[in-house]
């Protein structure tokens, strides 16, 4: 498990910073998290309907 940052969402979705920030807020709303709480890769993967390994593969392949 690892914490997802806005930059991870930018990389995964190929969007700009502001769009990734909005997505991060949508994920927090979906999981009923407060602003200071963090999002994990498992939660982000579930939100996007992906297996966590697929989610990580997408991010890692974009970094290469």
Q: How confident is the model over 10-62, as pLDDT tens digits?
A: 999 999 999 999 999 999 999 999 999 999 999 999 999 999 999 999 998 88
Among 30, 26, 28, 32, smallest CA distance to 3 is for 28
pTM comes to 0.89
- Domain regions of the chain by residue span: 3-63
């Amino acid at each position: 498990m690892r914490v997802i940052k806005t930059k991870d969402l930018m990389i995964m979705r190929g969007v700009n910073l502001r769009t990734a920030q909005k997505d991060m807020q949508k994920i927090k709303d979906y999981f009923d998290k407060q602003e200071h709480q963090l999002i994990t890769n498992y939660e982000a993967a579930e939100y996007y309907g992906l297996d966590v390994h697929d989610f990580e593969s997408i991010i890692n392949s974009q970094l290469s």
